[in-house]
């Protein structure tokens, strides 16, 4: 599958160069590249450089502003609403998270809703910004509608991910970063490239019946909420996706539900928007706003150690603590390079030719 392996620094420089060609200021081009490459390092390939040409096309379609005036339009001591001015989500999101962290420094917690933004890469990047400040970080975003709520045949929600990042002491941080669907769209894309079927419970047909066709979304089908079906709790997955949508967009004044503009440039945004761009929601909570940092970290270490050492089912040698697989991927890929799917590599090559940037 992965014929190409590119050293991290080389791929990062390429992304920076492309963002500079999109007329991003130097600092923002670097930041956007870091957020994007963080996804590739952490093994979430669907949210990394595989999306670079998508951002370019949105910029060409004048749906991304590469020099946004990101501003706070409303605030209280512990909250803010940020207008992303149609900027790259990769740049708007870290800025909003910084504001959440500043507010937490002052009053214990900070909560920032964002409107008028775009795809922000992986939620994990932004939530994890809190860790170095001995804070808990949270990040969520809505996204283009690909998901049919329980009993619906219409696609009304995005895969709406949530990340919660919690610092520990000697143990690595707890980082839960997940789409609120049974499977993320990136998992489907992998199956599509391999011409493989999807397990039952990931997708439904146009009429709502079960499908295993990884290309079902092209036929009017939909992803389903975490839980797969009503009997297995898909109404709870719907609750999660709806929660993310409302916090990200109804609180901020962005588009929500079926009105969220598509990431792909060949689909036009809805003609009757209910808000501005897509929405995100961020939170930062100072650990010492609740108890001394050392106490907290000692107990987080106990929590993680106890769970990691749980007795496992046959065939599995350990329980996976949220954040483990991504951290292991990051460590390995930083040294051995980023594997690229041939289609992604080809896409990046073409981008290099177009912008006269070395790939």
SS3 label, residue 54:
helix
125 CB-side CA count, 13 A: 29
Q: CB of residue 341 vs its own copies: minimum separation in angstroms?
A: 22
Q: Which is nearer to its own copies, 243 or 359 (CB)?
A: 243
Q: Which is nearer to its own copies, 11 or 104 (CB)?
A: 104
Enumerate residues 187-206 that contact its own copies by CB under 8 A: 199, 201-202
Is residue 150 a contact residue for its own copies (CB under 8 A)? yes
Enumerate residues 296-325 that contact its own copies by CB under 8 A: 296, 299-300, 302-303, 306-307, 310-314, 316, 318-320, 322
Cα(131)–Cα(37) distance, rounded to whole angstroms?
19
Is residue 166 a contact residue for its own copies (CB under 8 A)? yes
Is residue 261 a contact residue for its own copies (CB under 8 A)? no
Nearest to 344 by CA among 56, 53, 36, 7: 53
Is residue 213 a contact residue for its own copies (CB under 8 A)? no
Q: CB of residue 296 vs its own copies: minimum separation in angstroms?
A: 6
Q: How far is CA 353 from CA 327, 341, 347, in A?
A: 33, 19, 10
Cα(160)–Cα(170) distance, rounded to whole angstroms?
31
Which two three-digit tokens encode residue 79? 């909250």
Is residue 116 a contact residue for its own copies (CB under 8 A)? no
Among residues 24, 36, 100, 242, the one that binds its own copies under rule CB under 8 A: 242
Cα(310)–Cα(74) distance, rounded to whole angstroms?
46
Is residue 262 a contact residue for its own copies (CB under 8 A)? no
Is residue 91 a contact residue for its own copies (CB under 8 A)? no
Query: Is the CA virtual torsion 51, 56, 57, 62 positive or negative?
Result: positive
Enumerate residues 8-67 that contact its own copies by CB under 8 A: none
Name the DSSP letter for residue 84. -
End-to-end CA distance of the chain: 20
Cβ 141 vs Cβ 278: under 8 Å: yes
Which two three-digit tokens encode residue 109? 């917690």
Nearest to 222 by CA among 238, 208, 239: 208
Among residues 2, 61, 151, 331, the one that binds its own copies under rule CB under 8 A: 151
Q: Cα 345–346–352 angle (5° rounding)?
A: 90
Cβ 118 vs Cβ 84: under 8 Å: yes
Q: CB of residue 103 vs its own copies: minimum separation in angstroms?
A: 9
Q: Which is nearer to its own copies, 54 or 275 (CB)?
A: 275
Is residue 293 a contact residue for its own copies (CB under 8 A)? no
Applying CB under 8 A, the site for its own copies has a residue count of: 83
Q: Which is nearer to its own copies, 314 or 358 (CB)?
A: 314
Q: Which is nearer to its own copies, 36 or 244 (CB)?
A: 244
Is residue 208 a contact residue for its own copies (CB under 8 A)? yes
Q: Which is nearer to its own copies, 66 or 159 (CB)?
A: 159
Q: Which is nearer to its own copies, 303 or 359 (CB)?
A: 303
């Amino acid at each position: 599958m992965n014929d190409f392996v590119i050293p991290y620094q080389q791929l990062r420089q390429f992304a920076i160069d492309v963002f500079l060609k999109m007329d991003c200021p130097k600092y923002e081009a670097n930041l956007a590249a870091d957020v994007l490459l963080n996804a590739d390092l952490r093994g979430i390939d669907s949210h990394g450089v595989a999306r670079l040409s998508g951002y370019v096309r949105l910029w060409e379609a004048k749906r991304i502003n590469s020099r946004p005036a990101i501003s706070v339009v409303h605030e209280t001591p512990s909250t803010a609403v940020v207008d992303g001015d149609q900027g790259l989500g990769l740049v708007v999101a870290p800025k909003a998270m910084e504001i959440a962290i500043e507010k937490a420094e002052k009053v214990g917690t900070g909560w920032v809703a964002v409107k008028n933004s775009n795809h922000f890469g992986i939620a994990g990047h932004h939530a994890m910004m809190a860790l170095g400040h001995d804070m808990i970080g949270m990040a969520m975003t809505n996204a283009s509608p690909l998901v049919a709520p329980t009993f619906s045949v219409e696609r009304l929600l995005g895969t709406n991910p949530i990340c919660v990042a919690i610092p520990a002491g000697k143990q690595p941080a707890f980082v839960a970063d997940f789409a609120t669907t049974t499977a993320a769209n990136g998992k489907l894309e992998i199956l599509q490239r391999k011409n493989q079927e999807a397990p039952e419970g990931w997708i439904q047909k146009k009429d709502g019946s079960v499908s295993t066709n990884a290309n079902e979304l092209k036929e009017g089908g939909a992803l389903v909420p975490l839980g797969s079906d009503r009997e297995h709790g898909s109404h709870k997955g719907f609750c999660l996706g709806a929660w993310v949508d409302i916090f990200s967009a109804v609180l901020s004044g962005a588009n929500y539900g079926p009105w969220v503009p598509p990431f792909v440039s060949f689909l036009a945004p809805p003609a009757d928007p209910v808000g501005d761009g897509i929405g995100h929601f961020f939170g930062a909570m100072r650990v010492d706003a609740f108890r001394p940092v050392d106490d907290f970290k000692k107990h987080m270490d106990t929590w993680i150690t106890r769970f990691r050492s749980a007795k496992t089912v046959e065939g599995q040698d350990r329980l996976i603590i949220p954040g483990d697989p991504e951290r292991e991927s990051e460590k390995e890929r930083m040294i051995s390079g980023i594997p690229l799917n041939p289609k992604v590599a080809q896409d990046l090559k073409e981008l290099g030719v177009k912008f006269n940037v070395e790939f």
